[in-house]
Structure 1
Amino acid sequence: MSLASLSLLLLTSTAPAPAAALSDDPKPAAAAAAEGQDQARPAQDGGEIVVTARRREEKAQDVPIAISVIGGATIENTGATNLNRLQTSLPAVQFYSSNPRNSAINIRGLGAPFGLTNDGIEQGVGFYLDQVYIGRIGASTFDFVDVERVEVLRGPQGTLYGKNTTAGAINITTRAPSFTPEAKVELSLGNYDLISAKASVSGPLVDDKLAIRISSAVTSRRGTIYNVATDEYVHKQSTSSFRGQLLWKVNDDLDLTFAGDWNLQNPVCCVQYYVRTGATQRALTRQYAALAAALTYAPPSTDPFDRKIDLDADLNSRQEIGGASLVANWNLGPATLTSVTAWRYWDWQPKNDRDFVGLPITTVSQNPSQQKQFSQELRLSSNGDGRLDYTLGAFFFHQTIDTQGSQVQGAAASRWLLSGADALNPNVLNGLTSTNTINFDNTSFALFGKLNWEPLDGFHIQPGLRLNYDKKSGYYDSVVSIHNAQYNFDATADNVAALFAATSGAARTTFQNQINTLAPQRYSPRFSDWNVSGDITLSYDVAPDVHAYATYARSFKSGGINLSGLPLNSTSTGVDLTTQTVKPEKVDHFEIGLKTQFLDRRLTINAAGFWTEIRDYQATVNNNAINVIRGYLANAGKVRSRGFEWDASFRPSRAFNVYFNGAYTDAKYIDFKNAPCPPELSGGTATAPGGVTDPAGTAGGRSPAYCDISGQVLPGISKWSLSWGGEVRQPVGDGDIYLGYDGNWRSKFSSNPSPSAYTWIDAYSLSNVRLGWRRVDLNIYGWVRNLFDQNYFELLSTQSGSTGLIVGQPGDPRTYGLTISKSF
């Protein structure tokens, strides 16, 4: 039997719940392979999933953490080839992306602010690739290639991990180099002209000392949305990736793994477009219907699931991701010393249509960005399995981001964005340009440790402690210019006041409209802070297959700086420098859990209940001014996420297995009295705090300065989320014919930082099926994703400026295809 065949045995079952196993079946390897095919050994044979969630190999059922594990075979068979697709099997996980840079991973509704990315803050969910921390979620949007398993840890992680995270961590482990020659190729063809090819090869270079693994993939797919303005399909896929690993076993106690990867994505992507309109408090003549009529504009369709757009700006989402790492493991006898040294980069080159309509309002709005990061982690972990185990670590992280932002207003901008006489003069805003230089420097250092003490048989006390230092500095400089037949100036933070003072009357009003639309500003925010945090877990082995635990964690997320522009102050010629920084989040987390297996480990049921409170929660807000396109960061007083979740799987026989996972999450703002108002209360005449306002949707009415949304739900999180599925198989010839199904359902959720009547995304359910035949070295199957062609939105947003236009990003329609994979 080849090692490729054996590796298939070491993957988890169809269920992402912890019922699958890394086999320790006593049967001969060949017999086990023939029986197991490319599914894991069933749990009743005594196998267990082995994970490294606590930075050591151990059985997942023994780990007192809410954890889900999905193996490489499941990822390949279900087509869950990236985080967006993977989340459908993980009810507690939410992944949102309007484009790769504007992506967020949340767990239990917590992690990152909902909205466009602000580089000046940390992410609350850590993302690790072969133990290397990835500093930006945008740099984690690659397709999975040659993956052994994905571990998803829920709840704060900081006493075992290099980078502190408040909501959880995602660990991706790729397949390691092998000293037994092996190879695998895979080809997929599907509708929308899908072509996907993957290949991997591994084997020894020098006997049992040096081994190599090389993996590569190419994917291309036509877009699912038709642009009538350019006669092309958008939301295309175009990716290429390469990964190489070299394992050097210096001796029995020391091994080194050198790894390098490169990933290029260059799709024509991504768009949000007309979904509906809603009444705001802007003057009726300045809301969407009247503005569109004045400019004789109509969208190509008012049914977003016709999948037709007319966006007139260039579109692209090119990103290049790569890096190199060296992982060393040195067995010192009583303990193992691990070193993880890594350098990574991310080059983001976008093109967007940020006005979301086929009019030249904002003809350019994009933020090309280049990120580089270096990290060094050292860990010392005890090797014994006695009464006391420990992990001690140190972590250093340095990151730089350079961004070249630009925004250009077009010929329709004056009419769309302004009022009065200036609205009728296209030259007031036509060609108005903001050129932004943005720099970010982030340094983090930490010492962390975790003990596992067993004072009594089966009873474990596991305290952890972390000392952390963060330092962030930034630079933001926006120069605003206009050069057309009527207006000619370059405004900077230094001269804008003088330019304003040099005007009077109508000219001053025009100049104020221009710099309110795109404001020149320059500032250099700074943040630094020390923090001590920790956790303690008590666990008890009630029986060999029943484990209970309780955890308390006091965690934090580092403070941040605003790097997307600041709101204007009362003079309208400067910015509010009090909003440069945001305070750290302070987290109190409680969790209890039970991990159980019954019926000779055929049935696995794991459950957890949690209660998480965060003070000074970092939220994305805006002041409803058109100059703040991306929003800025502020602290909400307090949020809370509480609920329960379960993972259940049942494998009564080799021929049949099912799983059913679920999460109930009650995530709310507990105290957020100065929040931005939803669109139905925005756009009117501003009133002082506490002043008289008009009912929501009153055209030309009075809008509150801010809104109290305490008690309302956090965005992006469904109260209920479920996933289920299974597989049945029957021997045919020297293999098995099989039918697999995976489904999920989530209840409605808010898609706006402040809940709005216009931006709720309705509940929806998705179903995926696959039918095929496989043996140890060959798998041929057809697949359908979104079997019932469900129409649903991944995101809903509002157009800047309180016009009442609601735009959305639809999920993929039904896709289908055929996949053939062959191992050698």
Structure 2
Amino acid sequence: MLTNFVSRRALLATAAFGALVTANAAHAQDAAPAQAAQGSTEAAPDGTLDEIVVTAERRSENIQKVPLSVTAVKGDDLRAFQGGGEDILSLAGRVPGLYAETTTGRIFPRFYIRGLGNIDFYLGASQPVSIIQDDVVLEHVVLKSNPVFDVAQIEVLRGPQGSLFGRNTTAGIIKFDTIRPSNETQGRLNISGGSYDTLSIDAGVGGPIIPDVLSYRVSGLVQRRSDWIDNTYRGPSADGTISPVKDVMGGFLERDARAQLLFTPGSAVSLLLSGHVRDYEGTSTIFHRGALKKGSNDISAEPRDRIALDEAQNNPQAYKMQGGSANLSIDLGAATLTSITAYEHASGYSRGDTDGGAAANFPVNGVANGYGESQGNLRDLDQWTQELRVASNGSGPFKYQFGGMIFDSRDLTDFYQRAYFLTTAARNPNNWVRLRNSNTSYAVFGQASYALTPKLTITAGGRITEDNKRTRLLKTADTAAGVVTYRGRKDVSLSDTQPSWDLSALYTVNPDLNLYARVARGFRGPTIQGRSAVFNSDFTTANSETNVSWEAGFKSNLFGNTLRFNASAFYYTVSDIQLNGNDSNGNGVLFNADKARAYGAEAELDWRPIRNLSIGLGVSALHSEIKDKRVYAQVCALNGAVVCTVEDPTIVRPVFGAPATFAQIDGNPLPNAPEYNVDLTAQYDQPLSNGGTAFVATDWNLQGYTNLVLYKTKEFYANGNFEGGLKIGYRTPGDRFEIAAFARNITNEKNLKGVIENYMAAVFNEPRVIGLSISAKTR
């Protein structure tokens, strides 16, 4: 239907200059002894930085000795900046190379690492960024929205990670590790409240039931916000939506719980049982129609707290999820056998006024123009995973691990279009489709690491994966009289078997400086888009994509372990990249482009210039290009007229018998791939005479040019988006209690986060939230 993508660039050189500078500085100093504190980026009591321990290679290792680009965020650090009811998307402002957004509310986050992601809003969309929670892969887009609570640490692994984790991934992995049960009684509580009646309670408690044999942990999350957006529409509604109404959108209620039991009958065996539930309801994404004017990117005139919607009952959405896992570990002496069995279930719906406004307010020749309404129902999702892994024990020069994985996901999904909801004579009760999607995958994998010399270690890993997908159309979108008009395929199956692999080297220059280089190949299986059947359009498909990525960098501790400075440079080529455009109905269309190429760099700095001051800085830079002169994407159009300013070469071709305009996207950047991101955090602690501490903390994020669609326009991009937060508070002696005032998006920036092209509609970031927080913990 459509075709492929653009251009080529040579890579940047490694960070050799930076490595030489740090080598000289590091060699002249003695390393302060590090104390293992998983995921900590704060200073140790003596004013130096704590060691960061990660499991990026399925082993506990110092982050400075892991030969890949990885960022770790401690749970306490993330919670410190989540007082405004922020969800998983807030992670993107704290990790170089990571971007996240949504156009389907809190239930459907989309992640991008080094520019690679997927802008498709289809409920069955495949994403090149994998989410791993407690060693369980969460593949479906709804499962990826699982809220982050009672978390010990988050790790973001950049680049292909196919050898060891879950499903294959071409972009990278976001890995969440929750706080596990332990033999010590521990508890923590974070409560915050603020603007718009925002409330967040994140808590966990655990300890021994039978000392040294059985322990537990129970965790919970409650987040809520009152509706704060008015529906100002005054006029008739074809589906019975009541308006005008004040404070009818924008709110949410999130309720989550997790229970864990850890059974350790002896030193050689441990069994961790975990179960969780989620109950969520809220508002789907609000699209502000006409917020963008042709020829301009200025959104300042559009109010964030009011909108005129004539349909869709004010954009409701609600989901329920349940899941559980069993993680069994048996120490066999020379090696440890691990079995991870997991099940996830989800169901729910999301409804929206997809034109983002009232058609009566946008007439053409005096006639109301542009109606749009849809609903997606995930009626039943079941995901089963089973992984077996054997990993060597000991600290010798040779380490290995190998295993296999089975993945099975099946869902029943309905899509409803506008005519189904109407209460007028135009109602069509058959204007919906039902799809059955299945995805099974089988893989074997292994990795080996060998220290050739005390300073040089080589690591190699590989995986063979068979990926099978099938989509069946169980119900077609018929006429009101029940006449079947669909002529496309009703049963599509795709399958592929591909290798993934990586090869890396780590060289220790001295105890404070490590150099590394890595090359890796990732694989994302074929994809099927069946939602288009609701418009009587045939399924669209995309073949597998592969990514070969090269990177090199250094990891250093400087000035007596008061400065941690890590940096990397990368270059990758994605062959047969899967892309998603729009057809004349605004419906997603899958296609492959020939390739995409990108190069860039990331750097992270944690610094303690003085004992009581902590500074964190993350920077990423990216240049990406689609490379395929044959590929064209359909542009912004309504009633046959192009409504935005397209800056690419265009052609006109018939679609469904009417002329449509397409833009050549060869050479364009990947969508939602910021050219740069800068993350800054700082905290100053002032000890008080009573043994307590007063503190002030701030965090800021600045985002460079980001194209929001496949083609270039004068309207659909973001450039210079920024947000900041502030927190001022007091901690009691021993840090047992904390009380603070906070502000999120303190300057109340209105940033463009997404668009609906044919309606020139804008999606905004969250407004400013000011409030108070209280934290408590036991030791």
Amino acid at match of 1:622: N
In the other structure, the counterpart of 1:713 is 669
Q: Deviations over 1:762-799 (max 9, x none)?
A: 32111101000113210111110111111112212223
- Residue 676 of structure 1: SS of its match in structure 2? strand
In the other structure, the counterpart of 1:728 is 684
Check conservation: 2:289, 2:355, Cα contact below 8 A. Answer: no
Check conservation: 1:22, 1:47, Cα contact below 8 A. Answer: no
Supply the distance in 2 between the matched residues of 1:672 and 1:233 (Cα, whole angstroms).
Answer: 47
In the other structure, the counterpart of 1:354 is 354
In the other structure, the counterpart of 2:483 is 491
Q: How does 1:454-533 map to 2 (within 5 A)?
A: 454-483=451-480, 489-492=481-484, 496=485, 521-533=488-500
**Deviation of residue 44 (structure 1)?**
6.2
Q: Does 1:94 align with 2:99?
A: yes
Q: Deviations over 1:207-233 (max 9, x none)?
A: 210001001121211234222223333
Q: Does 1:394 align with 2:401?
A: no
Q: How does 1:644-663 map to 2 (within 5 A)?
A: 644-663=601-620
- Residue 368 of structure 1: SS of its match in structure 2? strand
In the other structure, the counterpart of 1:761 is 718
Q: Which of 561, 564, 586 lines up with 1:601 in the alignment? A: 561
In the other structure, the counterpart of 1:807 is 761
Check conservation: 2:374, 2:418, Cα contact below 8 A. Answer: yes
- Residue 88 of structure 1: SS of its match in structure 2? helix
The alpha-carbon distance between structure 1 residues 37 and 259, as it changes in their structure 2 partners (threshold 3 A), is closer
Q: Deviations over 1:260-304 (max 9, x none)?
A: 011111113331122435569xxxxxxxxxxxxxxxxxxxx9624
The alpha-carbon distance between structure 1 residues 620 and 22, as it changes in their structure 2 partners (threshold 3 A), is farther
In the other structure, the counterpart of 1:675 is 632
In the other structure, the counterpart of 1:445 is 442
- Which stretch of structure 1 is more off in the superposition, 206-215 or 79-88? 79-88
Q: Deviations over 1:123-145 (max 9, x none)?
A: 21110111011012322223321
**Deviation of residue 348 (structure 1)?**
2.2
Check conservation: 1:479, 1:491, Cα contact below 8 A. Answer: no
Check conservation: 2:737, 2:777, Cα contact below 8 A. Answer: yes
Q: Deviations over 1:158-189 (max 9, x none)?
A: 11113111110011011111212222233211
Q: Does 1:231 align with 2:246?
A: yes
Supply the distance in 2 between the matched residues of 1:614 and 1:411 (Cα, whole angstroms).
Answer: 42
**Deviation of residue 40 (structure 1)?**
5.4
In the other structure, the counterpart of 1:508 is none
Supply the distance in 2 between the matched residues of 1:410 and 1:791 (Cα, whole angstroms).
Answer: 35
Q: How does 1:169-184 map to 2 (within 5 A)?
A: 169-184=173-188
Q: Which of 58, 63, 82 lines up with 2:61 in the alignment? A: 58
**Deviation of residue 754 (structure 1)?**
2.3
Q: Which of 79, 83, 89 lines up with 2:82 in the alignment? A: 79
In the other structure, the counterpart of 2:213 is 209
The alpha-carbon distance between structure 1 residues 445 and 310, as it changes in their structure 2 partners (threshold 3 A), is same
Which structure exhibits the higher relative contact order, with contacts defined as CA atoms closer than 8 Å and separated by 6 or more residues? 2
Q: Which of 371, 375, 396 lines up with 2:381 in the alignment? A: 371
Q: Which runs of 5+ in 1 are unaligned?
A: 1-20, 27-31, 281-300, 414-425, 484-488, 497-518, 569-573, 686-691, 800-804
**Deviation of residue 377 (structure 1)?**
0.8
Q: Does 1:244 align with 2:259?
A: yes
In the other structure, the counterpart of 1:790 is 749
In the other structure, the counterpart of 1:310 is 309
Q: Does 1:199 align with 2:203?
A: yes
Q: Which runs of 5+ in 2 are unaligned?
A: 1-30, 233-242, 361-369, 643-648
Supply the distance in 2 between the matched residues of 1:644 and 1:601 (Cα, whole angstroms).
Answer: 24
Supply the distance in 2 between the matched residues of 1:525 and 1:606 (Cα, whole angstroms).
Answer: 46
- Which stretch of structure 1 is more off in the superposition, 203-212 or 745-754? 745-754
**Deviation of residue 675 (structure 1)?**
2.1
Amino acid at match of 1:205: I
Report the aligned-residue RMSD: 3.0
Check conservation: 2:43, 2:49, Cα contact below 8 A. Answer: no
Check conservation: 1:25, 1:45, Cα contact below 8 A. Answer: no
**Deviation of residue 657 (structure 1)?**
0.8
Instruction: Report the TM-score, using the length of structure 1 for normalisation.
Output: 0.81
- Residue 76 of structure 2: SS of its match in structure 1? helix
Check conservation: 1:42, 1:651, Cα contact below 8 A. Answer: no
Supply the distance in 2 between the matched residues of 1:46 and 1:634 (Cα, whole angstroms).
Answer: 48
Q: Which of 742, 751, 760 lines up with 2:699 in the alignment? A: 742
Q: Deviations over 1:542-590 (max 9, x none)?
A: 111111111111221111222222699xxxxx755xx643110021111
In the other structure, the counterpart of 2:25 is none
Supply the distance in 2 between the matched residues of 1:42 and 1:562 (Cα, whole angstroms).
Answer: 54
**Deviation of residue 385 (structure 1)?**
1.6
Q: How does 1:294-333 map to 2 (within 5 A)?
A: 303-305=302-304, 307-314=306-313, 315-333=315-333
Check conservation: 1:682, 1:703, Cα contact below 8 A. Answer: no
Q: Deviations over 1:33-57 (max 9, x none)?
A: xxx9995526965741111111011
Amino acid at match of 2:171: A
In the other structure, the counterpart of 1:18 is none
In the other structure, the counterpart of 2:623 is 666
In the other structure, the counterpart of 2:194 is 190
Supply the distance in 2 between the matched residues of 1:253 and 1:303 (Cα, whole angstroms).
Answer: 62
Supply the distance in 2 between the matched residues of 1:40 and 1:346 (Cα, whole angstroms).
Answer: 41
Check conservation: 2:323, 2:345, Cα contact below 8 A. Answer: yes
In the other structure, the counterpart of 2:18 is none
Supply the distance in 2 between the matched residues of 1:434 and 1:695 (Cα, whole angstroms).
Answer: 30
Check conservation: 2:540, 2:589, Cα contact below 8 A. Answer: no
Supply the distance in 2 between the matched residues of 1:461 and 1:533 (Cα, whole angstroms).
Answer: 18
Check conservation: 2:476, 2:533, Cα contact below 8 A. Answer: no
- Residue 85 of structure 1: SS of its match in structure 2? helix
- Residue 813 of structure 1: SS of its match in structure 2? coil
Instruction: Report the TM-score, using the length of structure 2 for normalisation.
Output: 0.85
**Deviation of residue 522 (structure 1)?**
4.9
Q: Which of 779, 788, 810 lines up with 2:738 in the alignment? A: 779
Check conservation: 2:336, 2:393, Cα contact below 8 A. Answer: yes
- Which stretch of structure 1 is more off in the superposition, 171-180 or 225-234? 225-234
- The aligned length equals 706
Supply the distance in 2 between the matched residues of 1:753 and 1:22 (Cα, whole angstroms).
Answer: 49
Amino acid at match of 2:770: Y
Check conservation: 1:278, 1:680, Cα contact below 8 A. Answer: no
Q: Which has the larger radius of gyration?
A: 1
**Deviation of residue 311 (structure 1)?**
4.3
**Deviation of residue 636 (structure 1)?**
1.1
The alpha-carbon distance between structure 1 residues 42 and 553, as it changes in their structure 2 partners (threshold 3 A), is farther
**Deviation of residue 93 (structure 1)?**
0.7
Supply the distance in 1 between the matched residues of 2:302 and 2:638 (Cα, whole angstroms).
Answer: 26
Q: Deviations over 1:501-542 (max 9, x none)?
A: xxxxxxxxxxxxxxxxxx575511101121122121122111
Supply the distance in 1 between the matched residues of 2:429 and 2:710 (Cα, whole angstroms).
Answer: 29
- Residue 476 of structure 2: SS of its match in structure 1? strand
The alpha-carbon distance between structure 1 residues 615 and 208, as it changes in their structure 2 partners (threshold 3 A), is same
The alpha-carbon distance between structure 1 residues 615 and 22, as it changes in their structure 2 partners (threshold 3 A), is farther
The alpha-carbon distance between structure 1 residues 242 and 719, as it changes in their structure 2 partners (threshold 3 A), is same
